[in-house]
């Protein structure tokens, strides 16, 4: 089972879903004066806004659509550029492409998230936003990235798909940028199969995202309606069935985080002190969601030997998360092959370059790194590690195995 929330699906989720089915109200819209209508999606939005520390949260049907809607809400489109890390899930990049804007790939540093210095070097007059992706459960250098964004008058977008429940300097991730996005697919902290959330403090941005996600309507379809809709929208709504599962999952968030953090402490204590082995740099260790412990070896050869023996992978081999393996991006393939951002008449963007090896520092780092999964079992990121239900004994035993294999290859 992939993510921690999925492993904990139980009677609470079943009761919530049955409750929705019995109520007969499956859409997020229902009669607020009927006690049978539970307004689960609305309640879930309110809870996520409170946990994040922002004014608005908008539930959508996936993290990918959340990113695309956020870009739309910010008015980002053709001839604009968005800086995004080369180590991320492809959706961060494809959402930019389908907004019509150009993704500009940037290096990650030993946080495994955007390197603020490299980001600043890639800003041009066309840059409209920086997309910080909090990979593997830990926040990027948000203070520095916020400063870069402010210096250049561009937006900061937080892709928090892999970090629901992580914190940064005392508050939830997703509140430092103009907008943040979460995912609730099966690999994420909590899940309803597929779902997403947009969080923001900006009322206007929220209203634009809401309208785009629901056929141009204003929030909750109240107020401005036929005759006064600001623009055409689409349908990216979350259903009450999904909201119901997520409300039950949310009740388990604190337990998930505490369990992951306890297991990670055990694994870290077993691996600490191994000569030559380093760990990922965490800009805010207290905010760590602890879904992964990323280890860094002195060379790619050693890391590959260790991974091979453990049945793990070096992060450079992650087929879904490294730009080098995104053949559809490298070959600029879109559904029509026409228009912005890759088509030559889309002025000024024809020189966009996507090539394997174009981010040498990212490549070198990922080549020497292995993630020990703490609560996410993903063949593309961390096939070796723990599952959510594993207790301290299993954590110690697996960490000891990792240490023994790593020690042998580091010494020899």
Ligand X SMILES: Cc1ncc(COP(=O)(O)O)c(C=O)c1O
Interface positions with ligand X (CB under 6 A): 62-64, 88-89, 91-92, 133, 159, 161-162, 183, 185, 187, 194, 196
Give the C-alpha separation, 20 to 347, whole Å. Answer: 50
75: left (phi over 0), alpha (psi -120 to 50) or beta: left
Choose between 104 and 405: whose C-beta lies nearer to ligand X.
104
Give the nearest distance from C-beta 319 to ligand X in angstroms. 13
Which residue sits closest to ligand X, CB atoms considered?
Answer: 63
Choose between 162 and 249: whose C-beta lies nearer to ligand X.
162
Nearest to 293 by CA among 401, 138, 148: 138
Give the nearest distance from C-beta 183 to ligand X in angstroms. 3
Give the nearest distance from C-beta 223 to ligand X in angstroms. 30
Choose between 325 and 401: whose C-beta lies nearer to ligand X.
325
Nearest to 368 by CA among 292, 251, 276, 291: 276
Task: Determine how many CB atoms are found less than 10 A away from the CB of residue 54.
Answer: 21
Choose between 299 and 334: whose C-beta lies nearer to ligand X.
334
Give the nearest distance from C-beta 409 to ligand X in angstroms. 30
Indicate the angle between helix axes 63-73 and 90-98, nearest 10 degrees. 40
Give the C-alpha separation, 351 to 355, whole Å. Answer: 12
Choose between 321 and 368: whose C-beta lies nearer to ligand X.
321
Give the nearest distance from C-beta 91 to ligand X in angstroms. 4
Task: Determine how many CB atoms are found less than 10 A away from the CB of residue 114.
Answer: 30
Give the nearest distance from C-beta 194 to ligand X in angstroms. 6
In 153-252, which residue ranges form alpha helices assigned H by DSSP? 203-213, 240-250
Give the nearest distance from C-beta 55 to ligand X in angstroms. 23
Choose between 194 and 201: whose C-beta lies nearer to ligand X.
194
Choose between 270 and 381: whose C-beta lies nearer to ligand X.
381
Indicate the angle between helix axes 240-250 and 11-23, nearest 10 degrees. 150
Relative to beta strand 171-172, strand 179-183 is: unpaired
Choose between 92 and 349: whose C-beta lies nearer to ligand X.
92
Residue 136 · residue 381 · CB < 8 Å: yes
Give the nearest distance from C-beta 273 to ligand X in angstroms. 32
Helix (H, G, I), strand (E, B) or coil at 281: coil
Q: Which residues pair with 279 in a beta bridge?
A: 295
End-to-end CA distance of the chain: 35
């Amino acid at each position: 089972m992939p993510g921690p929330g999925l492993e904990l699906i139980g009677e609470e989720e079943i009761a919530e879903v049955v409750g929705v089915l019995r109520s007969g109200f499956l859409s997020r819209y229902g009669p607020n004066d009927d006690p049978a209508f539970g307004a689960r999606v609305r309640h879930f939005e309110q809870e996520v806004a409170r946990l994040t520390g922002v004014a608005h949260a908008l539930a959508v049907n996936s993290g990918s659509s959340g990113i695309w809607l956020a870009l739309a809400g910010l008015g980002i489109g053709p001839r604009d550029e968005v800086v995004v890390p080369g180590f991320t899930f492809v959706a961060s990049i494809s959402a930019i492409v389908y907004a019509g804007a150009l993704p500009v790939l940037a290096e990650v540093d030993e946080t495994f998230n955007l390197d603020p210095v490299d980001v600043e070097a890639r800003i041009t007059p066309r840059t409209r936003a920086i997309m910080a992706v909090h990979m593997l459960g830990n926040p990027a250098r948000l203070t520095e990235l916020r400063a870069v964004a402010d210096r250049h008058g561009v937006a900061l977008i937080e892709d928090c798909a892999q970090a629901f429940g992580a914190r940064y300097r005392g508050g939830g991730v997703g509140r430092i940028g103009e907008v943040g996005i979460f995912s609730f697919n099966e690999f994420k902290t909590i899940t309803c199969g597929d779902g997403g959330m947009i969080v923001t403090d900006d009322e206007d941005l929220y209203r634009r995202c809401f309208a785009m996600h629901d056929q141009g309507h204003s929030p909750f379809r109240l107020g401005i309606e036929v005759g006064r809709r600001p623009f055409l929208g689409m349908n990216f709504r979350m259903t009450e069935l999904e909201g119901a599962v997520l409300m039950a999952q949310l009740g388990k968030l604190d337990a998930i985080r505490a369990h992951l953090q306890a297991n990670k402490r055990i694994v870290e204590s077993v691996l600490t002190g191994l000569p030559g082995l380093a760990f990922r740099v965490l800009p805010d260790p207290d905010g760590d969601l602890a879904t992964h412990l990323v280890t860094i070896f002195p060379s790619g050869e050693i890391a590959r030997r260790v991974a091979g023996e453990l049945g793990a992978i070096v992060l450079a081999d992650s087929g879904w998360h490294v730009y080098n393996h995104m053949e559809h991006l490298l070959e600029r393939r879109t559904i029509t092959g026409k228009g912005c951002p890759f088509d030559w008449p889309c002025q000024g963007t024809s020189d966009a370059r996507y090539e394997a090896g174009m981010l040498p520092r990212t490549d070198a780092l990922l080549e020497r790194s292995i993630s020990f999964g703490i609560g996410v079992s993903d063949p593309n990121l961390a096939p070796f590690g723990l599952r959510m239900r594993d207790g301290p004994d299993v954590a110690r035993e697996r960490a000891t195995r990792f240490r023994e294999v790593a020690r042998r290859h580091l010494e020899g």
